[in-house]
Structure 1
Amino acid sequence: MDRKNAELGQGDNHQKSASPYAIPVAFNRMLGHVHHADGSTGVVFCNPWGFDELCTRKFHRLVAAEMARNGISSIRFDYPGEGDSLPLEGPVSFESWIVAALAAGAELRQRSGCDRIVYYGMGIGAAVAVKAGCRDPDLAGVILAGASLNGRRYLREVALREKVIEDGIDIEFGYPSGATVLAAYVMDPQLAMDVKSLDVELTDLPDDRPVLVLARPDNLSDRQITDQLKSRGVPVESLDFDHYGAMLDGVVTSPMPLELIDKIALWTQQLNETKPETDASPAPVDTVRHLNGDGFCETAEQLDTGLFGVFCQPAHDTPSAVIVFLNMAYAPHTGWGGLWVEAARHLALDGIATFRVDLSNIGDSPAHPEGPEQVIYSRRQLDDVQIVIAHVRKLIKAPILLAGGCSGAHSALYAGAESPDVAGVVSINQLRLVLDPDEDIETTLKAGARPIGDYKRRAFSTQTYRRLLAGEINMVQASRHITGYARAYLSRIFSPYLGGLTRLGRLKGELFALLKTLERRRVPVTFVICRTDGSLDQHVLYFGKDLRGAAAFGHLRHIILENADHTLSPPSVRTEVIDILRRAAHDLSSGR
């Protein structure tokens, strides 16, 4: 059976829920997703932290869906203060994560009727899985995926990865001194202290409980975990964690180890026990989907098409406007570094509602059965946005503003022009104002965000020549980038004279027609761009030097962010972007 249809619950499967999708649930001030099945064994997913969780959210959804098809129920959830969950009133401790995992196990038992739990942990979540599993008297087994069981080693790896990120971008990030940071995620100081002293011993696990190790390629510590368990006589199996590095490299593409997913599901299926036919089904449990925060309330929404989103609104006031946040590439609805969650809760305090959503095949939303595997910049995404707009219109009658970054900005601009219900658009760091139909999407996404000036600097760098001679540079890929920029440069020179006869002339005609459509409807468009990622180059390409061509559109404005990167990492920049969104929403509600 096709994997897409399997996840959507179409065909022969073991799901017993009336809904073919995972059911969003709120419990203990946390938000989770329950995948129902009939077996006696369930799985609790213990996430990695921060950026790694962002990159693996889709992977874990697919694993959980395949498990459900094999009769294993599961729950995926966000730790307190992470993802969609509400923060704790005080500092976050590692103990609070263990308690959260045990609470998720209790929630799964109550909802599915399972009585034995497998704790799955990835990254630092593996330490949570071991600790929680040792406290659960009905432990069925443990899955350790790319496990980080030594806190000091883990924090060193995080610091090294962040250094690589920051060294490639010439800005001041402005993170708190001594903070543990990775790709705009800042770890709670108390949690960082707890992790630093963490050294998880596997000897506490029962000898008769099976363990599955998903081993990273050429990783010594993963092999040591397997060897240590074998020496104790623990029933352990090791699988190669295919595509691990590619998966954690970012969210611009979405490589999924489908064979590994099948193997994980089959391993858990072996732990399942058939319930006696005389066993009664678990008593119905009311599904709570609301989280009440300080000045805001959030509701997990599941559209008929399976799309998942979170509606955030002021706790007491009637919203003056609603902003729909769209995905940037494969980053889930929480946003890079949790930006959309942070923005939603701040804006609610100013009387502005928001809807952060996962479009098809991203984050917590399953793939459309007839949609493409590569959904970024696809027609499927624009159709999804129209479905989301219709859903939001049912929730609230306030003016709707679409906002997104990069590919999400592209979706916001195009869907805004198509839908008469859209009253405003905020496009952030849009690297393709118009997508050339001859452009290869995979190549474009993998090229990343980089200004033309950076390519020029690298082209004349002695370090580049050394890497070239050493064979470290992919000449085919580099040639494509250089040829593409050269073509754009020549097209920019000749397009004013040749108009639609040039590629740029045709693309510019498409963009300007779209902007004129928005202009006729008096829909304000705000382009937010930074200097370090190539988005400014893109706007210069279409609007000319100093962006003077934008003056032809009365409802169009540009805002240039200083000291910003493509993913809006610096805390000061995130504050500025939230303020831009606030002003755009207030302008809509006031009719300006």
Structure 2
Amino acid sequence: MGLFTPSMTGTTPSDCAVLFLSPWGFEEMCTRKLWRDLAERFAGLGVASLRFDYPGTGDSLDHMEFSGGLPVWEKATEAAATELRRLSGTTRLILVGHGLGATFSILFGRQLGAVEGMVLMAPVVSGRSYLRELSAWSKMVDDGLGLAEEQRLTGKTSIAGLVMPEDVAAAVRKINLQATDAAPAGSILMVHRPARDNEAALAARLEELGAIISRQPYLGYDELVSNPTIATQPEAVASRVTEWVGALAAAAGPASGPQSSPFPAVLKGDDFFEEPLRFGPNSRLSGVVCMPAGARRGASVILLGTAYDRHAGWARSTVDTARCLALQGIASLRFDAANVGDSPPVDGAAGQVLFSEGQRDDVRSAFDLMAERQLSPAVLAGRCSGAYLAFQSAIDEPRCSGVVAINPFTFVWDRDEGVDEALRYNPRSLGDYRKRALSLDTLRRLASGQINLGRAAVNIGKQLGRRAALMAPGLLGRLSKYGRLRHAVLSAFRALAERRTPVRLIYSGTDVGLERYHAYFGADGSGMTAFANVTVEIVPDADHNMSPPSAKALVQRRIVEAALAAD
């Protein structure tokens, strides 16, 4: 699956086009928005581009034969280069790679024909060192999620639920770019991390081999790849990469052939077929419609994204869910809201779009698309911020036939609560703190200074204070802010009950969203009995992302049930 961006109307198309080579895993999730931003900047300079998912990643097909390691991804890269030349009318390429993608630029570049230049962003110089770092990084992600040892992927090369095929990992382990014996391109921009001596050494080695090397410190790397939810785009680096690519493309002159229009692309699996598309005002939203290969049944499902994760979902969970639905005869749409992943921002809108009313416009556009394609009625499903968006959109969207909300952080946003702060310092539930306090691993991390005890104490205080404040409004009515919040939440549930819109709430046993649920509906949830259209299910031994296979399967079953019941 790939996304082609032509040169912008009014520009002179360059004879150079950019092929993006993505990193793998968690790093790919964090850089997806950067790729879209760069593609748009290049288009404004007359430079077309293509970004794509390797087989077994993102929106591409699974169950590939990876015997030999990297040949499958190498062949996919060659196919992408051929397609980019056909679409752009160019003869020459500039490769822009990040992490493993930068490494692939060097390893695969000679097989791609005329390559004018390369941008190597934080390349993997030593595969062995990379896999060690990946293992440590994976443990940090799992610790942050609160996964128990038995819930973690062990004995595999993995991170954030994404597993690298064994043969690929074995091939990556053998990578040593210092052994490169020929310059992969005449001009190279090395975007190097200041503390990585091996990246500086690689630049020197490529210079020895005859390449013209330009250097750019990778300022803001850690802020970009630490977490897709709070990733900060490296503006200085993006500007430098754009400037360097623009100069190289301008020197190449105009394109030698006309640009071709991409034909409708359909990805065919055993039980489904998928079509990537753009929709909404000015076709600004990017998504994928997944259709069953057999007869359709039930309502369709609009799968809403979580935070700033691309529409493939955390650990590709949304891709898996869409294809699971297709196996049951259910159609679906997964898409990026504005300023998320592959969808550009709305002009004049605030940069922080999570929990904003503007995202409801994107959901309305999704319902419009389903109606145009005769895929109505539709059910909304989402996790965390996507669950919040599903719930809120259902209130003012009569075309919504049901809601499946997984671990909703809240039901009505407190406008006094800053979204950025809430995302960066999101407190855990009191149940989760209690569970962690009894863990030997927590004691070890506390002794080693890895836990910020002060921050934990502040977060626990916030949870206790909010719980007390939300339970008080029964006496204070609407006189306090928390009273008004409580009234707004109950009014929202009443509105959906009057419309008889089925709502399924699914929580993991220690999720932070349970704090607000219990504050609104009681410690035993008895307050929810007033709403016959709502079912509540609490899943023990699951994290916020529903990572364990049993939890993921349960969520998929509930979405299937909601779709079949809503028809």
Q: TM-score, normalised by structure 1?
A: 0.88
What do residues 217-237 of structure 1 show as CA deviations (whole Å, max 9, x unaligned)? 412222222232234442111
Aligned partners of 1:176, 1:262: CA distance in 2, in Å? Answer: 38
What do residues 126-179 of structure 1 show as CA deviations (whole Å, max 9, x unaligned)? 221112212233111111111113221111111111122333415355456511
Q: Quote the offset at 1:485 in angstroms.
A: 2.4
Structure 2 equivalent of residue 103 of structure 1: 79
Identity of aligned residues (%): 31
Aligned partners of 1:219, 1:445: CA distance in 2, in Å? Answer: 29
The structure-2 alpha-carbon separation of the partners of 1:204 and 1:577, relative to structure 1 and needing over 3 Å to count, comes to farther
Structure 2 equivalent of residue 249 of structure 1: 226
Aligned partners of 2:408, 2:374: CA distance in 1, in Å? Answer: 28
Say yes or no: does 1:376 pair with 2:351. Answer: no
Say yes or no: does 1:322 pair with 2:293. Answer: no
Say yes or no: does 1:192 pair with 2:159. Answer: no
Structure 1 equivalent of residue 40 of structure 2: 65
Paired residues of 2:224 and 2:231 also in contact (CA < 8 A): yes
Structure 1 equivalent of residue 54 of structure 2: 79
The structure-2 alpha-carbon separation of the partners of 1:454 and 1:124, relative to structure 1 and needing over 3 Å to count, comes to same
Paired residues of 1:32 and 1:78 also in contact (CA < 8 A): no
Structure 2 equivalent of residue 123 of structure 1: 99
Structure 2 equivalent of residue 547 of structure 1: 525
Aligned partners of 2:40, 2:182: CA distance in 1, in Å? Answer: 27
**Aligned-partner SS, 2:249:** coil
Structure 1 stretch 43-52 or stretch 357-366: which is displaced more? 43-52
Q: Quote the offset at 1:56 in angstroms.
A: 0.8
Q: Quote the offset at 1:319 in angstroms.
A: 3.8
Aligned partners of 1:526, 1:304: CA distance in 2, in Å? Answer: 28
Q: CA RMSD, aligned part only? A: 2.5
Counterpart among 320, 323, 329 of residue 345 in structure 1:
323
Structure 1 stretch 483-492 or stretch 134-143: which is displaced more? 483-492
Number of residue pairs aligned between Structure 1 and Structure 2 = 556
1:36 partner letter: S
The structure-2 alpha-carbon separation of the partners of 1:343 and 1:212, relative to structure 1 and needing over 3 Å to count, comes to same
Structure 1 equivalent of residue 4 of structure 2: 33
Q: Quote the offset at 1:113 in angstroms.
A: 1.1
Counterpart among 417, 430, 433 of residue 408 in structure 2:
430
Structure 1 equivalent of residue 140 of structure 2: 164
Q: Quote the offset at 1:502 in angstroms.
A: 3.1
Say yes or no: does 1:229 pair with 2:229. Answer: no
- Tell me, which stretches of 5 or more residues in structure 1 are unaligned? 1-29
Q: Quote the offset at 1:84 in angstroms.
A: 0.9
Structure 1 stretch 553-562 or stretch 499-508: which is displaced more? 499-508
The structure-2 alpha-carbon separation of the partners of 1:149 and 1:63, relative to structure 1 and needing over 3 Å to count, comes to same
**Aligned-partner SS, 1:82:** coil
Aligned partners of 1:474, 1:74: CA distance in 2, in Å? Answer: 47
Aligned partners of 1:493, 1:250: CA distance in 2, in Å? Answer: 33
Q: Quote the offset at 1:352 in angstroms.
A: 0.7
Counterpart among 131, 149, 159 of residue 155 in structure 1:
131
Counterpart among 210, 215, 238 of residue 261 in structure 1:
238
Structure 1 stretch 497-506 or stretch 527-536: which is displaced more? 497-506
Say yes or no: does 1:587 pair with 2:562. Answer: no
Counterpart among 464, 473, 481 of residue 495 in structure 1:
473
Structure 2 equivalent of residue 336 of structure 1: 314
Paired residues of 1:311 and 1:353 also in contact (CA < 8 A): yes
Structure 1 stretch 453-462 or stretch 234-243: which is displaced more? 453-462
Q: Quote the offset at 1:479 in angstroms.
A: 7.5
The structure-2 alpha-carbon separation of the partners of 1:319 and 1:247, relative to structure 1 and needing over 3 Å to count, comes to farther
The structure-2 alpha-carbon separation of the partners of 1:565 and 1:478, relative to structure 1 and needing over 3 Å to count, comes to closer
Q: TM-score, normalised by structure 2?
A: 0.92
1:426 partner letter: V
Structure 2 equivalent of residue 12 of structure 1: none
Structure 2 equivalent of residue 504 of structure 1: 482
**Aligned-partner SS, 1:141:** strand
Q: Quote the offset at 1:283 in angstroms.
A: 6.3
1:341 partner letter: V
1:260 partner letter: V
Aligned partners of 1:258, 1:549: CA distance in 2, in Å? Answer: 48
Counterpart among 106, 122, 142 of residue 146 in structure 1:
122
Counterpart among 363, 366, 384 of residue 388 in structure 1:
366
Aligned ranges for residues 564-575 of structure 1 at < 5 Å?
A: 564-575=542-553
Paired residues of 2:66 and 2:72 also in contact (CA < 8 A): no
The structure-2 alpha-carbon separation of the partners of 1:319 and 1:237, relative to structure 1 and needing over 3 Å to count, comes to farther
Say yes or no: does 1:214 pair with 2:191. Answer: yes
Structure 2 equivalent of residue 50 of structure 1: 25
Aligned partners of 2:253, 2:65: CA distance in 1, in Å? Answer: 45
The structure-2 alpha-carbon separation of the partners of 1:288 and 1:88, relative to structure 1 and needing over 3 Å to count, comes to farther
Say yes or no: does 1:442 pair with 2:428. Answer: no
Paired residues of 2:383 and 2:406 also in contact (CA < 8 A): yes
What do residues 314-361 of structure 1 show as CA deviations (whole Å, max 9, x unaligned)? 112124211111111100111111001011011101011110010000
The structure-2 alpha-carbon separation of the partners of 1:87 and 1:465, relative to structure 1 and needing over 3 Å to count, comes to closer
